[in-house]
């Protein structure tokens, strides 16, 4: 380069200046005092329970604080990133955010960072946002209260704002967006915006907005009749998880800004797909899953040739799947499952889909497959969900060498050895609710996740490779011992990765074996509803990671071994309907959620340790020979005495190799409202105590009536005595109450009629007296709910009540309308007879004393 040129000299000077400044920044990148103070003021105003901001102090350069990024040239704060990461629990009660930032923070305070362009506070636990005046800190504006913004600080530099998944955050107004004129990315999903009715008009005022994510915000108005929305730069729109209950909006089809992604799933959308969708020529993602859209998939859908994601599953679409879909050569994900399609599917439906990676065409009833047996697809799938009609799998399936997840539902076919060899290469295999015929006796299962429940599989249990983490073989016709699966010699020399085992609802027999020491990774074990016999082996106590153990409906006997107390993580313990004896275990972990021991031969008293299980929401010890009194300390079970703790998740969550999350619903059969029902998805809502059919005595402790969250209480068929107190009316969430066949006495308390959710009541065969409290609640039950109480009267019983003249209370005496010898009629007849005799004697004596009458 010619250094004599003036341009070269200027360029060299600029380059030297830049290098000098950069070097200066590298060695002296001191944060500006103003920015430091703004951040410290922000820290002061919020709660930081886990010390996330512990590095924020005057002793350290703010550009080195956690979550803070400064510009290398001017040392001003440009990025503030403080998202909260949460751990994945085994059971999803509620995401634990006790360590996240919380409280109320000032957004306008952060806007005083004049160079701030990126703000990320997602997944924290903030409760409200406020705006403080820059010049007058005595004034503040709380978005959760007011709808009128004043004294906003203009932020022309902020381009990225993420407040998403602060689930307890309520924002009643979005008018603060007016001052963020340069905003390009707005992430506000999971925040409560139900009070903001003008959300669409407000976000369209952002001229540079490119990404808008407002999913699960409790929005209701999609403005379907609005013709135009003033988006000028929008590329990505996500409004999923709201409740719009409308058709697709007209303004969506008139966007001229080149939208590439539209996601409005789980929004209760109705109507058919309008042809105006063709106006979105640059559309790459169309996600409308889980709505109420109907009608056929139109042929013109094949003209959206930029589409990569088309997800229309779980709607009400009908008719045939159009062959024009085969023209979508850019498509990578096609999801049409769980609709009402009919007709034939062939290779013509997928003719040009060379990039397809994910395909879902599950349907009920299944579609008819008419593929050429020699057809080789142009794609290699990674995920496949299908259902079909016919005895054989489509031949093209065996050409797919990259499948990571295979799911077949609602189909019937033979499963030859060729099939099991093929699926051994598939990491996630789901073949549930089919009629697959096959013998598993000599099969080696190799997939990480194996779901084969509800089929017609037979033979002995298969063998497992060390790769297997999840096995579901329930509801088949498998027989023999569990030894082939657990005691395979080759497997015992390997390290097991198995975390979930469900072989319930089969015909398995024999003992529980003693091979459990090699399966310490197990979290869930379900061996229920088989013909297993013997005792629980002590080796099961080596399953230190076990969270749920189901051994119900077998022929097991003996005492519960004390070795199980080593299962410190045990949350669900279900051994109902066996022949176990001894006392109720007193070592159940304090974190336990469900304890089901019904229909065994347990004896002794209820251990006080049960009261220490604060998370327990199912206590079922019915149909045993338990005696003694009901513990007064049951009120310490906070899961049952606080309505806000009534809902507990029973979904098992596990993360395999950080690739995917897997969810499995726990289930229990519970007796409530007089019926034995299987609770699965709704198990988390059923708070229950069942101590029926035992030898319990004494009175119900008054403290028990403080279990406000209880939904079902059954103390029937015991020897309980005493009166029911008015405090029973505090149990506002009771849906089922059974106190039948005891020795209760006194009147039925008026407070019982205040239980508005009560759908089942049985007070029969006790010694209750007086009138049944009036009101639609208690009179709505049949007379059978009250029979066997001879001194009880009033509707719905046929006995009417007579109020004593000297008693101003509710004390009444029954009158039998059918002529029974009630107390009233007994006295009435006695008085009538006495009066007749007295009258007769009076007349007779008068005759004797009067001569004329006597002579006459």
- In a domain, residue 422? The reply is no
Q: What is the pLDDT of residue 111?
A: 81
Write out pLDDT tens, residues 564-589. 999 999 999 999 999 999 999 999 99
Question: Half-sphere exposure of residue 221, counting CA atoms within 13 Å on the CB side?
Answer: 12
List, in order, residues 6 or more apart from 846 with CB less than 8 Å away. 853
Instruction: Tell whether 25 and 90 lie within a shared domain.
Output: no
Q: Provide the 8-state DSSP code for 535.
A: P
Number of Cβ within a 10 Å radius of residue 57: 12
Number of Cβ within a 10 Å radius of residue 605: 15
- pLDDT bucket at 657, cuts 50 / 70 / 90: low
- In a domain, residue 435? The reply is no
Write out pLDDT tens, residues 191-205. 999 999 999 999 999
Percent of the chain with pLDDT strictly greater than 70: 83
Q: What is the pLDDT of residue 518?
A: 87
- pLDDT bucket at 787, cuts 50 / 70 / 90: very high
Instruction: Tell whether 574 and 694 lie within a shared domain.
Output: yes
CA distance 462 to 439: 9
Instruction: Tell whether 91 and 165 lie within a shared domain.
Output: yes
- Indicate whether 652 pLDDT > 80: no
Q: Which residues pair with 829 in a beta bridge?
A: none
Average pLDDT over residues 436-441: 90
Q: What is the sign, positive or negative, of the torsion defined by CA atoms of 6, 11, 12, 16? A: positive
Instruction: Tell whether 13 and 74 lie within a shared domain.
Output: no
Q: What is the pLDDT of residue 680?
A: 86
- In a domain, residue 91? The reply is yes
Q: What is the pLDDT of residue 141?
A: 35
Average pLDDT over residues 732-736: 93
Instruction: Tell whether 582 and 547 lie within a shared domain.
Output: no
Average pLDDT over residues 45-69: 93
- In a domain, residue 353? The reply is no
Beta carbons of 556 and 534 less than 8 angstroms apart = yes
Average pLDDT over residues 243-249: 94
- In a domain, residue 642? The reply is yes
Instruction: Tell whether 631 and 770 lie within a shared domain.
Output: yes
Write out pLDDT tens, residues 99-118. 999 999 888 888 889 999 99
Beta carbons of 383 and 404 less than 8 angstroms apart = yes
Instruction: Tell whether 170 and 62 lie within a shared domain.
Output: yes
Q: What is the pLDDT of residue 303?
A: 94
What average pLDDT is seen over the chain?
86
- pLDDT bucket at 821, cuts 50 / 70 / 90: very low
- In terms of Cβ atoms closer than 10 Å to its own Cβ (0-12, 13-18, 19+), residue 530 is buried
Q: What is the pLDDT of residue 774?
A: 85
- Indicate whether 20 pLDDT > 80: no
Number of Cβ within a 10 Å radius of residue 378: 15
- Indicate whether 671 pLDDT > 60: yes
- In a domain, residue 242? The reply is no
The more confident residue out of 499 and 365 is 499
Instruction: Tell whether 151 and 16 lie within a shared domain.
Output: no
Instruction: Tell whether 724 and 700 lie within a shared domain.
Output: yes
Which of 219, 250, 267 is a domain's end point? 219
Which of 513, 535, 562 is a domain's end point? 562
Instruction: Tell whether 583 and 701 lie within a shared domain.
Output: yes
- In a domain, residue 415? The reply is no
- Indicate whether 664 pLDDT > 80: no
- pLDDT bucket at 142, cuts 50 / 70 / 90: very low
CA distance 111 to 130: 12
The encoded tokens of residue 142 equal: 């709380």
Q: What is the pLDDT of residue 842?
A: 54
3-state helix, strand, coil split of the chain in percent (to 5) is 20, 25, 55
- pLDDT bucket at 555, cuts 50 / 70 / 90: very high
**Residue numbers of the domain that contains 4:** 1-30
Give the domain CATH number at 190: 3.80.10.10
Instruction: Tell whether 725 and 803 lie within a shared domain.
Output: yes
Instruction: Tell whether 653 and 567 lie within a shared domain.
Output: yes
- Indicate whether 626 pLDDT > 50: yes
Tally of structural domains, the chain: 4
- In a domain, residue 417? The reply is no
Q: What is the pLDDT of residue 96?
A: 78
- pLDDT bucket at 59, cuts 50 / 70 / 90: confident
Average pLDDT over residues 459-472: 93
Number of Cβ within a 10 Å radius of residue 748: 26
Q: What is the pLDDT of residue 124?
A: 95
Task: Identify the H or E element spanning 19.
Answer: helix 6-27
Give residue 268's region: left, alpha or beta (phi > 0; psi -120 to 50).
left
- Tell me the whole-structure pTM to 2 decimals: 0.82
| End-to-end alpha carbon distance in the chain | 166
Q: What is the pLDDT of residue 390?
A: 72
- pLDDT bucket at 412, cuts 50 / 70 / 90: confident
CA distance 235 to 821: 85
Q: What is the pLDDT of residue 344?
A: 92
């Amino acid at each position: 380069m010619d250094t004599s040129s003036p341009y070269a000299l200027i360029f060299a000077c600029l380059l030297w200046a830049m290098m000098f400044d950069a070097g200066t920044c590298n060695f002296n990148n001191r944060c500006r005092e103003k920015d430091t103070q703004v951040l410290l003021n922000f820290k002061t105003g919020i709660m930081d329970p886990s010390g996330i901001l512990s590095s924020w102090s005057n002793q350290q350069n703010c550009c080195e604080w956690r979550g803070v990024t400064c510009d290398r040239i001017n040392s001003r704060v440009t990025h503030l990133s403080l998202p909260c990461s949460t751990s994945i629990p085994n059971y999803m009660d509620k995401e634990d955010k006790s360590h996240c930032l919380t409280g109320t923070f000032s957004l306008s305070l952060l806007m005083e960072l004049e160079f701030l362009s990126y703000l990320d506070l997602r997944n924290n636990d903030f409760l409200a946002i406020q705006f403080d005046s820059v010049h007058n800190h005595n004034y503040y504006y709380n978005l959760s209260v007011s709808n009128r913004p004043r004294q906003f600080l203009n932020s022309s530099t902020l381009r990225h704002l993420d407040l998403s998944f602060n689930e307890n955050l309520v924002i009643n107004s979005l008018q603060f967006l007016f001052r963020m004129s340069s905003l390009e990315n707005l992430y506000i999903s999971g925040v409560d915006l139900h009070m903001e009715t003008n959300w669409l008009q407000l976000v369209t005022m952002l001229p540079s907005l490119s990404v808008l994510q407002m999913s699960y915000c409790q929005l209701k108005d999609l403005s379907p009749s609005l013709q135009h929305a003033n988006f000028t730069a929008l590329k990505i729109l996500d409004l999923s998880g709201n409740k719009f209950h409308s058709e697709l909006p007209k303004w969506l089809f008139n966007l001229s800004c080149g939208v590439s992604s539209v996601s409005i799933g789980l929004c209760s959308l109705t109507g058919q797909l309008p042809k105006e969708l063709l106006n979105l020529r640059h559309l790459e993602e169309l996600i409308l899953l889980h709505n109420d859209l109907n009608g056929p998939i139109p042929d013109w859908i094949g003209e959206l040739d930029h589409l990569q994601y088309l997800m229309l599953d779980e709607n009400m679409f009908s008719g045939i799947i159009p062959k024009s879909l085969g023209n979508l050569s850019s498509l990578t994900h096609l999801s049409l499952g769980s609709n009402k399609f009919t007709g034939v599917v062939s290779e013509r439906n997928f003719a040009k889909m060379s990039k397809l990676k994910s395909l879902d065409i599950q349907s009920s009833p299944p579609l008819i497959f008419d593929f050429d047996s020699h057809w080789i697809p142009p794609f290699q799938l990674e995920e496949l969900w299908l259902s079909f009609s016919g005895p054989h799998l489509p031949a093209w399936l065996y050409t797919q060498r990259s499948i990571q997840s295979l799911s077949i539902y609602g189909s019937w076919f033979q499963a030859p050895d060729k099939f099991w060899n093929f699926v051994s290469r598939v990491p996630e295999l789901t073949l549930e609710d089919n009629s697959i015929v096959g013998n598993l006796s000599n099969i080696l299962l190799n997939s990480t996740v194996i779901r084969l429940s509800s089929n017609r599989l037979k033979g002995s249990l298969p063998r497992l490779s060390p790769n297997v983490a999840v096995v579901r073989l329930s509801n088949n016709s498998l027989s023999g011992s569990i030894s082939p699966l657990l005691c395979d010699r080759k497997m015992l020399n390997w390290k097991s990765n198995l975390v979930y085992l469900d072989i319930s609802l089969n015909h398995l027999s024999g003992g529980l074996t003693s091979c459990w020491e090699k399966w310490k990774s197990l979290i869930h074990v379900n061996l229920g509803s088989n013909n297993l016999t013997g005792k629980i082996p002590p080796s099961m106590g080596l399953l230190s990671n076990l969270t749920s153990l189901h051994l119900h409906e077998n022929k097991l006997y003996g005492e519960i071994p004390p070795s199980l107390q080593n299962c410190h993580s045990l949350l669900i313990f279900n051994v109902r309907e066996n022949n176990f004896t001894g006392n109720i275990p007193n070592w159940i972990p304090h974190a336990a959620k469900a304890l089901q021991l019904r229909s065994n031969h347990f004896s002794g008293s209820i251990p006080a340790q049960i009261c220490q299980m604060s998370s327990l929401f199912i206590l079922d010890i019915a149909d045993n020979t338990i005696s003694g009194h009901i513990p007064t300390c049951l009120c310490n079970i906070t899961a049952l005495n606080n309505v806000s703790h009534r809902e507990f998740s029973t979904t098992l969550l596990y993360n395999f190799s950080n690739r995917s999350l897997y969810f499995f619903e726990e289930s229990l059969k519970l007796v409530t409202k007089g019926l034995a029902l299987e609770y699965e998805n709704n198990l988390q809502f059923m708070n229950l105590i069942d101590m029926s059919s035992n030898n319990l005595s004494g009175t119900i402790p008054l403290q028990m009536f403080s279990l406000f969250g209880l939904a079902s209480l059954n103390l029937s068929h015991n020897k309980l005595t005493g009166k029911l107190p008015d405090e029973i009316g505090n149990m506002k969430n009771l849906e089922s109450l059974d106190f039948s066949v005891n020795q209760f006495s006194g009147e039925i308390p008026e407070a019982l009629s205040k239980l508005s959710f009560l759908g089942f009541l049985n007070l029969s065969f006790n010694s209750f007296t007086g009138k049944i409290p009036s009101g639609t609640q208690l009179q709505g039950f049949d007379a059978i709910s009250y029979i066997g109480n001879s001194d009880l009267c009033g509707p719905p019983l046929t006995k009417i009540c007579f109020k004593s003249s000297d008693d101003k209370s509710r004390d009444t005496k029954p009158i039998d309308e059918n002529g029974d010898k009630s107390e009233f009629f007994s006295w009435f007849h006695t008085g009538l007879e006495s009066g007749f005799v007295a009258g007769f004697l009076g007349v007779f004596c008068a005759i004797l004393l009067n001569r004329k009458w006597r002579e006459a």
